[in-house]
Homo-oligomer: A and B are copies of this chain.
Amino acid sequence: MANDKKMVEEITSMDVDFAKWYTDVVKKAELCDYSSVKGFVILRPYGYAIWENIQHIVDKKLKATGHENVAMPMFIPESLLQKEKDHVEGFAPEVAWITHGGTEELTERMCVRPTSETLFCDHYSNIIKSYRDLPKLYNQWCSVVRWEKTTRPFLRTREFFWQEGHTMHETAQEAQDETIDILNLYAGFCENELAIPVIKGQKTDKEKFAGAEATYTIEAMMHDGKALQSGTTHYFGDGFSKAFDVVFQNRENKPQYPHETSWGISTRLVGAIIMTHGDNNGLVLPPAIAPIQVVVIPVAQHKPGVIEKATELQQRLAQKYRAKIDISDNSPGWKFAEYEMKGVPLRVEIGPKDMEKNQCVIVRRDNREKVFVPLDQLEETVEKLLEAVRQGLYQKALENREKRTFTAAAMDEMVQLANEKSGFIKAMWCGDEACELKLKESAGVSSRCIPFEQEQISNVCVCCGKPAKKMVYWGKAY
């Protein structure tokens, strides 16, 4: 019991200090550790396993839709980075520069990739010759480096892991379709596998990616009322193609520039999982990406046959699930707290009394519901409960988002909501960047997205009162 208490005491309550709660969870659940390299973190086995599960699922979805993986160099020569004007302006201030290779000074310095549009376009200019070579649907899984000033594990680190897709298409329409198809793929993954509801929409020009014609985003609502951009897709038109001289012979046998997209999700998603589903006992993981889906804990394990029975249950479950057993010397109470901290979706308890009744106890991590299960119904019950956890998590997250979604028709209402509540504020916008800047200044909110699902709140811009063009989600964001 002393141990249990210690475990629980170590996490700051999220109501007391959300930021501290977050770093406590990251640290105590052994997702990350700080390193001697400032602004960089170490992904520990449990944290990396979550990312591996994300990769595995998303990679399969990308391959099923015709995408192929490649690997580009991790360095970009300065002249290559400079080829597209808007892009270099956006990224040059935040890259790490290599100036020496071994003992020699480089004739041209190179940066570590902050993103790889330039490298992909350079390669595409070599391999795309004809419309028969299109589309090219390439993706790479890698890490990138951006010299951030303030960092937080998973949310903002100088190095982070992601996938970056870079595709080339014959027509503008096909490229635009790709950005929407991938956004839907991301949204489906977040909602189904991660149980995180998202708003799909377009970024305003102010918030779009450096060099893009259009940026689309999925925005999720965290437990503290801040938004988290969880995935983006970009439509470039033929801007990069022109800058990098990517030309193909079209069906009329004439030279033409192909149309480009890029898109990515990153280890930020692990941050989204923590802040969407976590509670004051620690992490809560959606089953699809949980490194351990079910943990079996023997109770009174010194009694004859208990460990054997528990092992038998674990082995039955391991046929289909990532199932673990803990037969260490720690008390059951300590183990309960430990695996709650680690967010394991289901816990199976079995002791001598359960064995007499030919049953076990299953406890859900999300709502702590406890059921007694006849041993011959173990697998089917686990299957049902894992699905119930997934749905329960999604429902809870959706309720949190709905509870934290407000509407403002006028500026004073906007400012008041932004001061008193935390969450999304839906309001009309005229389309001018000046109003975005003013809303940032007076209410501290930025535009999260112009959602695909529009509503008509009023006819005029919440800020300037001129005719409104779009309804926008506003909020504070990570």
Contact = CB atoms under 8 A, between A and B. Distances in A.
Contacts of A52: 69
A123 B93 contact: no
Given A36-B77, A123-B35, A42 B98 contact: no
A44 interface: yes
A37 B99 CA distance: 14
A96 B110 CA distance: 10
A70 interface: yes
A103 interface: yes
Contacts of A367: none
A127 B76 CA distance: 35
A71 B43 contact: yes
Nearest to A122: B36
A96 B33 CA distance: 25
A321 interface: no
Contacts of A103: 93
A70 B32 CA distance: 10
Interface string A50-75: 01100000000000000011111111
A304 interface: no
Interface string A86-130: 000000011111111111000000101000000100110011000
A33 B123 contact: yes
Q: Say which size band chain A's interface belongs to.
A: 35 or more
Contacts of A138: 45
A336 interface: no
A48 interface: yes
B99 A100 contact: yes
Contacts of A69: 45, 48-49, 52
A37 B127 contact: no
A3 to B, nearest CB: 14
20 contacts: A33-B123, A33-B126, A36-B77, A40-B73, A40-B74, A40-B75, A42-B70, A49-B68, A71-B143, A74-B74, A74-B145, A75-B159, A93-B102, A94-B102, A96-B98, A96-B100, A96-B101, A98-B99, A98-B112, A101-B158
Interface of A: 33, 35-37, 40-45, 48-49, 51-52, 68-77, 80, 93-103, 110, 112, 119, 122-123, 126-127, 138, 142-143, 145, 147, 158-159, 161
